[in-house]
């Protein structure tokens, strides 16, 4: 007997569609997240799980928002500082 459950995620617009095989325990986890957060479907629950995992897993320098922030900072004018410690109030 196959204990795997198949979940089909349907995307809208630029989203990707995925067909995922989950065993009973994995399906239970997704359903638990869905219920705890009052989400409409397993697709929403998986998005939350993936987002949370990505926050913890990805290094800050790999996050798109970090890259964007650094690109914006690179465009800012530079400031000459004679004494770093004094300039930033560390003395």
**Six-digit token pair at 41?**
């479907």
Q: What is the pLDDT of residues 19-73, one digit of tens each?
A: 899 999 999 999 999 999 999 999 999 999 999 888 777 776 677 888 888 899 9
Lowest mean pLDDT among 8-17, 33-42, 73-82: 8-17
Q: Is the pLDDT of residue 16 over 90?
A: no
With beta carbons less than 8 A apart as the criterion, state whether 45 and 28 touch: no
Q: Is the pLDDT of residue 12 over 70?
A: no
With beta carbons less than 8 A apart as the criterion, state whether 9 and 17 touch: yes
Host domain of residue 80 = 5-87
pLDDT score, position 5: 66
Alpha helices by DSSP H, listed for the chain, are 24-37, 42-57, 64-74, 84-87
Say what the pTM is.
0.51
Q: Confidence class of residue 11 from pLDDT cuts 50, 70 and 90?
A: low
Counting the structural domains of the chain, the total is 1
Distance from CA of residue 1 to its chain's centroid?
Answer: 35
Q: What are phi and psi of 6, to 5 degrees?
A: -100, 135
Identify each DSSP E strand in the chain by its residue range: 5-9, 18-22
Residue 72 neighbours by CB under 8 Å, 6+ apart: none
């Amino acid at each position: 007997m196959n204990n795997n459950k198949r979940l089909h995620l349907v995307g809208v617009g630029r989203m990707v569609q995925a067909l995922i095989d989950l065993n009973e325990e994995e399906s239970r986890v997704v359903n638990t997240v869905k219920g705890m957060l009052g989400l409409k479907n397993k697709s929403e629950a998986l998005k939350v799980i993936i987002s949370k995992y990505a926050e913890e897993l990805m290094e800050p320098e790999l996050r798109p928002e970090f890259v964007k922030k650094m690109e914006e900072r690179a465009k800012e004018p530079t400031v000459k500082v004679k004494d770093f410690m004094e300039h930033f109030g560390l003395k």
